[in-house]
């Protein structure tokens, strides 16, 4: 398959590359190495520039004001956007519109007015509340948060959510609760406002990231209007799962972008760093590490572009997206690790972005479905849907 860039794709990639070089990299020089956001004023300035480029709201459908970007081009943009210090955690600090809760595109007209459009305008922050302490890799069966009907107009929710990103800074979000029996058909999605009584972010969960990453939510007799059900009662898991395959593709591409940059840094450093009278690049051991980097990057790039191309053609691509996520996250981790090793002590110093990419990449092997879950998805498609 030919993955040569079209003229339009070449122009877009060049624009995004210049944006990262001229706007993001100088900005990061004045930020803490673990910064995960910029001031509202700076973000506004950045988003004005991406809007002028016609690239704001990358994950927003054209009918809602987003650019008409195909998935292959979306992957190319993701690769470029992630090539800076915070690029794996928050590409370009959200200047291109950030990650959207795509499930809200399934909302009713009134729900869109109240919740979707403020999110698209950047006025409100949203969280996604699916995972629980009982397990996040099999949410269809592990969800224990319960919703009980209270009359005709309300539901009462009780339970705990864990590993929820951004809930402490969100205005509202999606909470998935069990309204029926076990399995997928018993889960319903509710739009919940964080200011409502009974909703409490109980703690910040610290991880490898120095900045805040995840939160735990306690839901205690939280009354939610019936009109805040997203989709159909019992259709929550279908809403959650519907866009996962599509979202995994740019997620995988972001891993690849950091790997590409880390490899470039390792190549350049190996040429200028001398040990015992010769450059590192002259050492066979270093050469082989660089070769392995190159192979891992090329393989990952072809696989993520293959998944994107199938998506654009309207072909089934669940297996391809799982393979792309698996290979990109695993290969990128190895590339960053080797690049750190080549840099020696400098590789683990916060002077360079390598150590942060290493930590972020370790999380990426778990986020959006651990590598083992991706293998299960792939095996299920190979062997048959009867595989549990």
Confidence of residue 240 (pLDDT cuts 50, 70, 90): confident
Q: Quick one: pLDDT at residue 211?
A: 60
Residue 333 has pLDDT above 80, yes or no: yes
Residue 148 has pLDDT above 60, yes or no: yes
Q: Quick one: pLDDT at residue 349?
A: 97
Q: Quick one: pLDDT at residue 293?
A: 98
175-212 pLDDT, tens digit per residue, is 999 998 777 778 999 999 999 999 999 999 888 876 66
Q: Is-catalytic flag, 368?
A: yes
Spatial separation of the C-alpha atoms in residues 36 and 86, rounded to whole Å: 7
353-369 pLDDT, tens digit per residue, is 999 999 999 999 998 88
Residue 139 has pLDDT above 70, yes or no: no
Q: Which residues contact 154 (CB under 8 A, 6 or more apart)?
A: 223, 224, 225, 226
21-36 pLDDT, tens digit per residue, is 999 999 999 999 999 8
Q: Quick one: pLDDT at residue 142?
A: 79
Asked if residue 24 lies in contact with residue 93, where contact means CB atoms within 8 angstroms, the answer is yes
Residue 238 has pLDDT above 90, yes or no: no
Q: Quick one: pLDDT at residue 388?
A: 56
Q: Quick one: pLDDT at residue 207?
A: 85
Q: Is 375 exposed, middle or buried (0-12, 13-18, 19+ CB in 10 A)?
A: middle
The answer to whether the predicted template modeling score (pTM) of the entire model surpasses 0.85 is: yes
Summary mean pLDDT of the chain: 92
- The structure tokens listed for 111 are 């729900």
For 225, the 3-state DSSP assignment is strand
Residue 135 has pLDDT above 80, yes or no: no
- The structure tokens listed for 83 are 């090539």
What structural domains and CATH numbers belong to the chain?
7-103 (1.10.540.10), 126-235 (2.40.110.10), 241-383 (1.20.140.10)
Q: Quick one: pLDDT at residue 309?
A: 96
For 237-271, letters b (16+ CB in 10 Å) and e give: bebbebbbbbbbbbbbbbbbbbbbbbbebbbebbe
Residue 101 has pLDDT above 80, yes or no: no
> Choosing from 37, 193, 292, 368, which is the catalytic residue?
368
Q: Quick one: pLDDT at residue 315?
A: 94
Q: Quick one: pLDDT at residue 276?
A: 93
Q: Which long-range contacts (CB under 8 A, 24 or more apart) does 360-363 make?
A: 360/88, 360/89, 360/208, 360/209, 360/258, 361/88, 361/255, 361/258, 361/329, 361/332, 361/333, 361/336, 362/208, 362/333, 363/207, 363/208, 363/209, 363/213
Q: Quick one: pLDDT at residue 360?
A: 94
Question: Assign residue 342 a region: left if phi > 0, alpha if psi is -120 to 50, beta otherwise?
Answer: alpha
Q: What percent of the chain has pLDDT over 90?
A: 76
Confidence of residue 59 (pLDDT cuts 50, 70, 90): confident
Asked if residue 96 lies in contact with residue 78, where contact means CB atoms within 8 angstroms, the answer is no
């Amino acid at each position: 398959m030919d993955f040569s860039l079209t003229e339009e794709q070449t122009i877009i990639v060049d624009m995004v590359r210049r944006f990262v070089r001229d706007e993001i990299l100088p900005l990061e020089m004045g930020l803490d190495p673990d910064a995960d956001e910029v001031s509202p004023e700076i973000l506004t300035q950045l988003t004005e520039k991406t809007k002028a480029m016609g690239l704001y709201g990358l994950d927003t459908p054209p009918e809602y004001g987003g650019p008409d970007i195909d998935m292959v081009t979306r992957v190319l943009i993701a690769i470029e956007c992630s090539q800076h210090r915070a690029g794996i955690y928050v590409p370009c600090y959200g200047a291109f519109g950030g990650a959207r809760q795509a499930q809200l595109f399934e909302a009713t007209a009134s729900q869109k007015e109240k919740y979707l459009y403020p999110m698209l305008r950047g006025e409100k922050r949203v969280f996604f509340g699916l995972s629980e302490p009982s397990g996040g890799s099999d949410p269809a069966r592990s969800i224990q948060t319960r919703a009980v009907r209270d009359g005709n107009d309300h539901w009462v929710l009780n339970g705990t959510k864990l590993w929820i990103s951004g809930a402490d800074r969100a205005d509202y979000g999606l909470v998935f609760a069990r309204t029926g029996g076990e399995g997928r058909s018993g889960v319903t999605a509710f739009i919940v406002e964080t200011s409502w009584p009974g909703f409490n972010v109980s703690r910040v969960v610290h991880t490898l990231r120095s900045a805040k990453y995840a939160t735990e939510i306690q839901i205690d007799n939280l009354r939610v209007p019936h009109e805040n059900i997203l989709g159909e009662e019992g259709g929550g898991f279908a809403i959650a799962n519907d866009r996962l395959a599509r979202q995994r593709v740019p997620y995988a591409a972001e891993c690849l972008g950091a790997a590409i940059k880390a490899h470039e840094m390792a190549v350049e450093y190996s040429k200028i760093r001398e040990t015992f009278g010769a450059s590192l690049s002259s050492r066979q051991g270093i050469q082989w590490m660089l070769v392995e980097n190159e192979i891992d990057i090329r393989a990952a790039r072809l696989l993520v572009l293959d998944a994107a191309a199938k998506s654009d053609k309207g072909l089934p691509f669940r297996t391809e997206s799982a393979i792309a996520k698996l290979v990109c996250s695993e290969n990128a981790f190895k590339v960053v690790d080797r690049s750190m090793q080549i840099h020696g002590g400098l590789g683990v110093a916060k002077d360079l972005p390598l150590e942060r990419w290493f930590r972020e990449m370790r999380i990426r092997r778990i986020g959006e479905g651990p590598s083992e879950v991706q293998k299960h998805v792939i095996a299920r498609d190979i062997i048959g849907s009867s595989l549990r």
